[in-house]
Structure 1
Amino acid sequence: MQSAVTVDAQGFKVRRVHQDAHKLSAYSQLGGDKNSNLVSLNLPKDKSMKDEEDEAEYTVDGPLLRVSPYYFTYMTNCKLRWQNRKLLDLFSTEFRLYTKEQYTEALANGHVTLNGVPATLDSVIRNGDCMCHRVHRHEPPVSSRPIKVVHQDDDLVIIDKPSGIPAHPTGRYRHNSVTLLLQRQLGIKVHPCNRLDRLTSGLMILAKSGKSAQKMVEQMRDREIHKQYIAKVIGEFPLGETEEEKENGIVVEQPLTTIDPRLSFNIVDKENGKPSKTVFKRLNYDGETSLVLCKPLTGRTHQIRVHLQYLGYPIVNDPLYSSPKIWGENLGKNGDFIVEEIQEKLHKIGKTDPATSWLHPDGSGEIMSGKFCDTCKAELYSDPGVNDLELYLHAFKYESSTDKGWGYETELPYWAVEQQTKMMNLALEQAKKIGR
């Protein structure tokens, strides 16, 4: 049962499991009449999995955008790294959505199937297998700041993504993602050409067709696009030692590797990391923090964030890389930390401990609440806090480096404008003291 792929009217690839979601019911995919465990679930037999999912509704609650709980049937084909592994082991190591005990209960109750046959605690996933698991989803709220459309034509939609919203469905987020929000609220079906971290704000390029997406992705792959970000970091970022550094910026070429994909935890790894290169140039310093222009020349996960931390100037409100409670006083400078200890602390974030950062060291945030859903009995999370929703890293300019000659940019974020205004006011005050 291979993952067959076709294309839709816009030329986007559509996996077989997504096609099935539009046509088939959760009842049929979870074994139907052959699975006696489904009786207690009271599954609708005449409603597709997509119809069930689309019953979710959005509500704006002050700074938060909420989506109502809904039923969702995960369907996925076996990935290469999953082959010949027990399902329980796979769930507990690859997915962070539920506890191992909850996955154990789902398997024991026949709520997970392999190729339409109820799985057990001893089930092993093989090449070509299709795994299904129906859940009552509770998505975390995201920022209610609007998605601004910077430019739109027949091929592309260019947006200014707010911080705190993932680019596409991933992990615990589905409807609360840029692509589904644009589709549900504006009727625009698009494919992201570049993917910003959930917490990073700024320019996203989205294609309206498979052909347009391929052209843009090829430009990015061939490094024909210059990207510029702005970040607010801890301390007085250096101007550089040589005249070249002072003019063009400080170059960081430290290889990066992902330690834990569930946490998106990345570090500098000089032996096994992938080549990574970023240029940094200080824009100003206000006596405590610096605004820094960041130009990533490669596209590794968390590249700017990890390179800044390695230099000793992490982003001021980075919950992964700037929290003294996680990293200690040196905040991970020069890679001076024990990976296993950091990983253990990070696994508690969002579960028993709220996210913290240098800027907000004691901010309340999302943790397990001790309250449970009346429908599915799953433990619920508290609302996200300030460290869960914003990062002072903004992609403000993308432009072609070839004769294609295009470029897009956004307005500077409020936190950058505030710092610029502060510095201007200080300069004016000093000028008044000098006199004519």
Structure 2
Amino acid sequence: MTFTVTITNKHGQHIVKELLEDYYLIPRKIRHFLRTKKHVLVNGQAINWQNLVENGDTISLTFDEDDYPTKIIPMGKAELVDCLYQDDHLIIVNKPEGMKTHGNEPTEIALLNHVSAYVGSTCYVVHRLDMETSGAVLFAKNPFILPIVNRLLEDKKIWREYWALVDRKFTPKHQVFRDKIGRDRHDRRKRVVDKKNGQTAVTIVDQLKNLGNHSLVKCRLETGRTHQIRVHLSHHGYPIVGDPLYNKYPQGRLMLHAHKLSLTHPLTLEKISVEAISKSFEAELRNQ
């Protein structure tokens, strides 16, 4: 497979070696093959590894099957995919509630399998949503882009906004929860606030609307701990409606939805921002 990328101002002026190693995060072994096979072209010309690449240059990278062996997974059903955005490298889809992001077993069919069928080749999970949660999920369409977007996620440069319907009136209207989160020693499915041994977790919550005995809130993640929003809201007395793990009286679907996902494309520098709509989430809101 061959990828062609136009160098942008963000990259600045680099030698080829630095660009592949520090920005594209290509592993050393694969960089060695690219160099020995002369599979790197700049503006269509073979180059020296120490050549400078500058703004406006076009770099082409050709990978053999041995560089990134094809990962075979069962194909799902393409018609189940609600695509919000895609290009040559990335795809963002709207996950329905009740579907896993990826399977736990090699033969298990989940959203990843359906997305791969939609694209026509194996895709790769960048981040996941709980099975009960709906909304926007980002996948990499090839193994070349995967470590690059993984670094964006680690550097908090992929912004995720969630909507949640919670019990009680949310007050004050703006709150930041910083409680550390760890495993529940008594229930392996759950997480708990653990001030001593837990991992740092930060959730920013704003009230959007009061709905009688409930509130619709917007949550933004500074970290990505398992069940983070569910644990923080429940711990502070605002369990999410329909939460089977953290609400003592769950009714209906889990009312947590990944409403918005935004990032700057690491190769094209395009500003990408999508909003996902869930009919079941909106139907539950209308019933309040």
Fold shared, TM-score > 0.5 on shorter chain: yes
Is the Cα–Cα contact under 8 Å of residues 179 and 193 in structure 2 kept in the other structure? yes
Tell me how far apart the structure 1 counterparts of residues 110 and 64 of structure 2 sit (CA, whole Å): 21
Q: Which residue of 2 aligns with 1:408?
A: 273
Is the Cα–Cα contact under 8 Å of residues 76 and 109 in structure 2 kept in the other structure? no
Aligned counterparts, 1:32-431, within 5 A: 146-170=80-104, 174-184=107-117, 187-238=120-171, 240=172, 246=173, 249-259=174-184, 263-324=188-249, 357=250, 359-360=251-252, 390-400=253-263, 404=269, 406-418=271-283
Is the Cα–Cα contact under 8 Å of residues 232 and 416 in structure 1 kept in the other structure? no
Tell me how far apart the structure 1 counterparts of residues 211 and 164 of structure 2 sit (CA, whole Å): 14
Q: Percent identity?
A: 29
The alignment's C-alpha RMSD in Å is 3.5
**Shift in alpha-carbon separation, 1:165–1:180, aligned structure 2, 3 A:** same
> What amino acid sits opposite 1:264 in the alignment?
R
Is the Cα–Cα contact under 8 Å of residues 175 and 181 in structure 1 kept in the other structure? no
Tell me how far apart the structure 2 counterparts of residues 151 and 217 of structure 1 sit (CA, whole Å): 18
Structure 2 gap segments, 5+ residues each: 1-29, 31-62
Is the Cα–Cα contact under 8 Å of residues 167 and 178 in structure 1 kept in the other structure? yes
Tell me how far apart the structure 2 counterparts of residues 11 and 288 of structure 1 sit (CA, whole Å): 56
The Cα offsets for residues 122-174 of structure 1, whole Å up to 9 and x where unpaired, read as xxxxxxxxxxxxxxxxxxxxxxx932011111001110111111111216x84
Tell me how far apart the structure 2 counterparts of residues 10 and 316 of structure 1 sit (CA, whole Å): 49
Tell me how far apart the structure 2 counterparts of residues 319 and 8 of structure 1 sit (CA, whole Å): 47
> What amino acid sits opposite 1:178 in the alignment?
L
Is the Cα–Cα contact under 8 Å of residues 13 and 210 in structure 1 kept in the other structure? no
| Secondary structure class of the residue paired with 1:211 | coil
By how many angstroms is 1:307 displaced? 0.3
Q: Tell me the TM-score normalised to structure 2 length.
A: 0.67
**Shift in alpha-carbon separation, 1:323–1:149, aligned structure 2, 3 A:** same
**Shift in alpha-carbon separation, 1:183–1:11, aligned structure 2, 3 A:** farther
| Secondary structure class of the residue paired with 1:194 | coil
Is the Cα–Cα contact under 8 Å of residues 314 and 321 in structure 1 kept in the other structure? yes
**Shift in alpha-carbon separation, 1:234–1:168, aligned structure 2, 3 A:** same
Tell me how far apart the structure 1 counterparts of residues 81 and 202 of structure 2 sit (CA, whole Å): 30
Tell me how far apart the structure 2 counterparts of residues 264 and 153 of structure 1 sit (CA, whole Å): 36
Is the Cα–Cα contact under 8 Å of residues 239 and 246 in structure 2 kept in the other structure? yes
> What amino acid sits opposite 2:88 in the alignment?
D
Tell me how far apart the structure 1 counterparts of residues 204 and 263 of structure 2 sit (CA, whole Å): 18
> What amino acid sits opposite 1:417 in the alignment?
E
The structure where helix makes up a greater share of residues is: 1
Is the Cα–Cα contact under 8 Å of residues 178 and 201 in structure 2 kept in the other structure? yes
Structure 1 gap segments, 5+ residues each: 1-5, 23-49, 59-144, 241-245, 325-356, 361-389, 424-436
> What amino acid sits opposite 2:162 in the alignment?
Y
The Cα offsets for residues 50-77 of structure 1, whole Å up to 9 and x where unpaired, read as 9xxx6x998xxxxxxxxxxxxxxxxxxx
Tell me how far apart the structure 2 counterparts of residues 11 and 152 of structure 1 sit (CA, whole Å): 24
Higher relative contact order (CA 8 A, sep 6+): 2
Q: Which residue of 1 aligns with 2:56?
A: none
Tell me how far apart the structure 2 counterparts of residues 167 and 394 of structure 1 sit (CA, whole Å): 14
| Secondary structure class of the residue paired with 1:159 | strand
Is the Cα–Cα contact under 8 Å of residues 224 and 402 in structure 1 kept in the other structure? no
